[in-house]
Chain A
Amino acid sequence: MDADSLSRSLDGMRTTLLKIARLQLRNDSWAEDVVSETMLAAIEGAASFTGNSQVKTWVVGILKHKIVDQLRRGGREVSVEAQMEAAGVETLDELYQPNGHRLNPPLDWGDPEASLSRSQFFEVLQACVERLPANMGRIFMMREWLDYETDQICKELDITSTNCFVLLHRARMRLRECLEMTWFAKERVA
Protein backbone atom coordinates (compact mmCIF):
# COMPACT_ATOMS: atom_id res chain seq x y z
CA MET A 1 0.00 0.00 0.00
CA ASP A 2 1.45 3.41 -0.89
CA ALA A 3 2.19 5.95 1.82
CA ASP A 4 -0.21 8.50 0.41
CA SER A 5 -3.40 6.43 0.46
CA LEU A 6 -2.39 4.82 3.74
CA SER A 7 -1.95 8.22 5.35
CA ARG A 8 -5.37 9.21 4.15
CA SER A 9 -6.94 6.07 5.64
CA LEU A 10 -5.09 6.67 8.90
CA ASP A 11 -6.39 10.21 9.10
CA GLY A 12 -9.91 8.92 8.64
CA MET A 13 -9.44 6.35 11.39
CA ARG A 14 -7.78 8.57 13.93
CA THR A 15 -10.92 9.51 15.88
CA THR A 16 -12.00 5.89 16.19
CA LEU A 17 -8.53 4.75 17.22
CA LEU A 18 -8.33 7.46 19.87
CA LYS A 19 -11.74 6.58 21.24
CA ILE A 20 -10.83 2.94 21.66
CA ALA A 21 -7.40 3.73 23.10
CA ARG A 22 -8.99 6.07 25.66
CA LEU A 23 -11.55 3.44 26.53
CA GLN A 24 -8.81 0.91 27.24
CA LEU A 25 -6.19 3.16 28.82
CA ARG A 26 -8.38 5.75 30.57
CA ASN A 27 -5.59 8.24 30.17
CA ASP A 28 -5.71 10.84 27.41
CA SER A 29 -2.00 11.42 26.97
CA TRP A 30 -1.29 7.67 26.91
CA ALA A 31 -4.03 7.31 24.31
CA GLU A 32 -2.55 10.09 22.14
CA ASP A 33 0.86 8.43 22.40
CA VAL A 34 -0.25 4.94 21.43
CA VAL A 35 -2.28 6.23 18.49
CA SER A 36 0.72 8.20 17.20
CA GLU A 37 2.96 5.16 17.65
CA THR A 38 0.39 3.04 15.85
CA MET A 39 0.27 5.40 12.88
CA LEU A 40 4.04 5.53 12.69
CA ALA A 41 4.29 1.74 12.86
CA ALA A 42 1.64 1.40 10.16
CA ILE A 43 3.46 3.75 7.81
CA GLU A 44 6.79 2.07 8.46
CA GLY A 45 5.24 -1.35 7.98
CA ALA A 46 3.08 -0.46 4.99
CA ALA A 47 5.06 -2.85 2.79
CA SER A 48 4.14 -5.76 5.05
CA PHE A 49 0.42 -5.10 4.72
CA THR A 50 -0.72 -7.75 2.28
CA GLY A 51 -4.22 -6.51 1.73
CA ASN A 52 -5.68 -9.83 2.86
CA SER A 53 -7.43 -8.06 5.70
CA GLN A 54 -9.06 -4.66 5.79
CA VAL A 55 -6.73 -1.76 6.51
CA LYS A 56 -8.70 -0.92 9.63
CA THR A 57 -8.44 -4.45 11.03
CA TRP A 58 -4.71 -4.38 10.39
CA VAL A 59 -4.26 -0.99 12.06
CA VAL A 60 -6.43 -1.95 15.06
CA GLY A 61 -4.19 -5.02 15.42
CA ILE A 62 -1.14 -2.73 15.64
CA LEU A 63 -3.00 -0.51 18.12
CA LYS A 64 -3.63 -3.51 20.38
CA HIS A 65 0.10 -4.26 20.51
CA LYS A 66 0.94 -0.66 21.31
CA ILE A 67 -1.68 -0.61 24.05
CA VAL A 68 -0.31 -3.81 25.59
CA ASP A 69 3.16 -2.16 25.69
CA GLN A 70 1.71 0.95 27.29
CA LEU A 71 -0.18 -1.03 29.92
CA ARG A 72 3.07 -2.79 30.77
CA ARG A 73 4.93 0.52 31.10
CA GLY A 74 2.16 2.10 33.17
CA GLY A 75 1.48 -1.10 35.11
CA ARG A 76 2.47 0.10 38.54
CA GLU A 77 0.30 3.18 38.37
CA VAL A 78 -2.68 1.20 37.12
CA SER A 79 -2.29 -1.55 39.68
CA VAL A 80 -2.51 0.70 42.75
CA GLU A 81 -5.74 2.21 41.48
CA ALA A 82 -7.14 -1.20 40.64
CA GLN A 83 -6.48 -2.50 44.13
CA MET A 84 -8.28 0.46 45.61
CA GLU A 85 -11.23 0.04 43.32
CA ALA A 86 -11.63 -3.67 44.05
CA ALA A 87 -11.59 -2.92 47.75
CA GLY A 88 -14.29 -0.27 47.26
CA VAL A 89 -17.72 -0.59 48.77
CA GLU A 90 -19.66 -1.08 45.56
CA THR A 91 -21.57 -4.34 45.91
CA LEU A 92 -24.30 -4.46 43.24
CA ASP A 93 -26.82 -4.46 46.10
CA GLU A 94 -29.12 -2.24 44.09
CA LEU A 95 -29.80 -5.14 41.73
CA TYR A 96 -30.95 -7.69 44.30
CA GLN A 97 -33.34 -8.34 47.14
CA PRO A 98 -31.78 -9.34 50.47
CA ASN A 99 -32.42 -13.01 49.66
CA GLY A 100 -30.33 -12.75 46.50
CA HIS A 101 -33.12 -12.67 43.97
CA ARG A 102 -33.19 -10.03 41.29
CA LEU A 103 -35.31 -6.96 41.76
CA ASN A 104 -36.03 -6.47 38.07
CA PRO A 105 -36.13 -9.44 35.76
CA PRO A 106 -33.87 -9.05 32.71
CA LEU A 107 -35.61 -8.09 29.49
CA ASP A 108 -35.72 -10.32 26.46
CA TRP A 109 -33.12 -8.89 24.06
CA GLY A 110 -34.74 -10.57 21.09
CA ASP A 111 -32.17 -11.23 18.38
CA PRO A 112 -29.21 -9.22 19.75
CA GLU A 113 -26.85 -10.34 16.96
CA ALA A 114 -28.84 -8.16 14.58
CA SER A 115 -27.46 -5.14 16.48
CA LEU A 116 -23.89 -6.10 15.54
CA SER A 117 -24.39 -4.77 12.04
CA ARG A 118 -25.41 -1.34 13.31
CA SER A 119 -22.82 1.32 14.01
CA GLN A 120 -25.12 3.07 16.51
CA PHE A 121 -25.04 -0.07 18.63
CA PHE A 122 -21.26 0.16 18.91
CA GLU A 123 -21.53 3.80 19.92
CA VAL A 124 -23.89 2.79 22.73
CA LEU A 125 -21.58 -0.08 23.70
CA GLN A 126 -18.60 2.27 23.90
CA ALA A 127 -20.57 4.78 25.94
CA CYS A 128 -21.55 2.01 28.37
CA VAL A 129 -17.94 0.83 28.75
CA GLU A 130 -16.90 4.43 29.27
CA ARG A 131 -19.33 4.73 32.17
CA LEU A 132 -17.56 1.97 34.11
CA PRO A 133 -15.17 3.19 36.81
CA ALA A 134 -11.70 3.63 35.30
CA ASN A 135 -10.00 0.48 36.44
CA MET A 136 -12.99 -1.74 36.19
CA GLY A 137 -13.27 -0.57 32.60
CA ARG A 138 -9.58 -1.06 31.96
CA ILE A 139 -9.60 -4.62 33.29
CA PHE A 140 -12.79 -5.43 31.43
CA MET A 141 -11.28 -4.16 28.17
CA MET A 142 -8.09 -6.13 28.82
CA ARG A 143 -10.13 -9.29 29.21
CA GLU A 144 -12.77 -8.82 26.52
CA TRP A 145 -11.06 -6.69 23.91
CA LEU A 146 -7.34 -7.41 24.26
CA ASP A 147 -8.19 -11.03 25.08
CA TYR A 148 -5.88 -11.34 28.11
CA GLU A 149 -6.31 -14.40 30.31
CA THR A 150 -7.38 -13.43 33.84
CA ASP A 151 -4.13 -14.66 35.40
CA GLN A 152 -2.19 -12.43 32.98
CA ILE A 153 -4.27 -9.44 34.12
CA CYS A 154 -3.65 -10.31 37.78
CA LYS A 155 0.05 -10.66 37.19
CA GLU A 156 0.44 -7.50 35.19
CA LEU A 157 -1.61 -5.33 37.54
CA ASP A 158 -0.48 -7.16 40.66
CA ILE A 159 -4.00 -7.74 41.98
CA THR A 160 -5.41 -10.96 43.44
CA SER A 161 -7.45 -13.26 41.22
CA THR A 162 -10.42 -12.74 43.55
CA ASN A 163 -10.25 -8.99 42.98
CA CYS A 164 -9.96 -9.59 39.29
CA PHE A 165 -13.06 -11.82 39.19
CA VAL A 166 -14.99 -9.35 41.32
CA LEU A 167 -14.15 -6.42 39.05
CA LEU A 168 -14.96 -8.37 35.90
CA HIS A 169 -18.25 -9.56 37.35
CA ARG A 170 -19.28 -6.03 38.36
CA ALA A 171 -18.26 -4.72 34.97
CA ARG A 172 -20.36 -7.32 33.15
CA MET A 173 -23.43 -6.72 35.31
CA ARG A 174 -23.17 -2.96 34.88
CA LEU A 175 -22.64 -3.24 31.17
CA ARG A 176 -25.64 -5.55 30.91
CA GLU A 177 -27.85 -3.06 32.73
CA CYS A 178 -26.55 -0.18 30.64
CA LEU A 179 -27.07 -1.93 27.30
CA GLU A 180 -30.52 -2.99 28.36
CA MET A 181 -31.56 0.51 29.38
CA THR A 182 -29.93 2.49 26.60
CA TRP A 183 -30.32 0.09 23.68
CA PHE A 184 -32.43 -3.05 24.02
CA ALA A 185 -35.32 -1.52 25.96
CA LYS A 186 -35.62 1.11 23.21
CA GLU A 187 -35.16 -1.36 20.39
CA ARG A 188 -38.09 -3.34 21.70
CA VAL A 189 -40.33 -0.33 21.75
CA ALA A 190 -39.20 0.79 18.29
Chain B
Amino acid sequence: MTKGWLLIPCRNAHELLSRRMDEPLGGGDRLRLWLHLRICGACSRVDRQMDFMRQAMRQLGK
Protein backbone atom coordinates (compact mmCIF):
# COMPACT_ATOMS: atom_id res chain seq x y z
CA MET B 1 0.00 0.00 0.00
CA THR B 2 1.60 3.29 -1.04
CA LYS B 3 0.81 6.50 0.71
CA GLY B 4 -1.71 8.66 -1.09
CA TRP B 5 -4.52 11.00 -0.18
CA LEU B 6 -6.87 8.10 0.42
CA LEU B 7 -4.51 5.24 1.21
CA ILE B 8 -2.44 5.47 4.37
CA PRO B 9 0.08 3.07 5.96
CA CYS B 10 -0.58 1.34 9.29
CA ARG B 11 1.54 3.87 11.15
CA ASN B 12 -0.81 6.70 10.22
CA ALA B 13 -3.83 4.50 10.83
CA HIS B 14 -2.60 3.87 14.39
CA GLU B 15 -2.23 7.61 14.96
CA LEU B 16 -5.78 8.17 13.76
CA LEU B 17 -7.11 5.28 15.86
CA SER B 18 -5.65 6.90 18.92
CA ARG B 19 -6.70 10.41 17.93
CA ARG B 20 -10.26 9.22 17.45
CA MET B 21 -10.35 8.24 21.12
CA ASP B 22 -9.60 11.84 22.08
CA GLU B 23 -11.54 13.98 19.61
CA PRO B 24 -13.83 13.51 16.60
CA LEU B 25 -11.85 13.13 13.38
CA GLY B 26 -12.31 15.46 10.43
CA GLY B 27 -13.97 14.14 7.27
CA GLY B 28 -10.81 13.26 5.33
CA ASP B 29 -9.18 11.45 8.23
CA ARG B 30 -12.39 9.63 9.02
CA LEU B 31 -12.64 8.40 5.44
CA ARG B 32 -8.97 7.36 5.28
CA LEU B 33 -9.20 5.47 8.55
CA TRP B 34 -12.48 3.79 7.67
CA LEU B 35 -11.08 2.61 4.37
CA HIS B 36 -7.83 1.43 5.93
CA LEU B 37 -9.71 -0.59 8.55
CA ARG B 38 -11.79 -2.25 5.83
CA ILE B 39 -8.67 -3.40 4.06
CA CYS B 40 -6.33 -4.09 6.98
CA GLY B 41 -7.16 -6.90 9.38
CA ALA B 42 -4.16 -6.16 11.60
CA CYS B 43 -5.27 -2.59 12.24
CA SER B 44 -8.86 -3.67 12.88
CA ARG B 45 -7.39 -5.91 15.54
CA VAL B 46 -5.48 -2.98 17.06
CA ASP B 47 -8.71 -0.95 16.95
CA ARG B 48 -10.53 -3.53 19.08
CA GLN B 49 -7.55 -3.83 21.42
CA MET B 50 -7.54 -0.06 22.00
CA ASP B 51 -11.23 -0.18 22.93
CA PHE B 52 -10.53 -3.03 25.28
CA MET B 53 -7.66 -1.15 26.95
CA ARG B 54 -9.97 1.81 27.58
CA GLN B 55 -12.52 -0.51 29.15
CA ALA B 56 -9.84 -2.12 31.32
CA MET B 57 -8.39 1.21 32.48
CA ARG B 58 -11.83 2.36 33.62
CA GLN B 59 -12.04 -0.67 35.87
CA LEU B 60 -8.72 -0.03 37.57
CA GLY B 61 -9.29 0.05 41.33
CA LYS B 62 -12.85 -1.23 41.15
* Residue positions of A touching B, CB distance < 8 A: 16-17, 20, 56-57, 60, 63, 92, 95-96, 99-102, 105-106, 108-109, 112-113, 115-116, 121-122, 125-126, 141, 143-145, 147, 150, 164-165, 168-169, 172-173, 175-176, 179
Contact = CB atoms under 8 A, between A and B. Distances in A.
Interface residues of B, number: 31
Given A125-B60, A145-B60, A108 B45 contact: yes
Interface in B1-39: 1, 3, 8-12, 14-15, 18-19, 21-23
B55 to A, nearest CB: 7
B16 to A, nearest CB: 9
Contacts of A56: 61-62
Nearest to A107: B45
B55 A169 contact: no
A108 B1 CA distance: 22
B22 to A, nearest CB: 4
Contact of B9 (A17, A60, A101, A175): A101
Contacts of A168: 18, 21-22
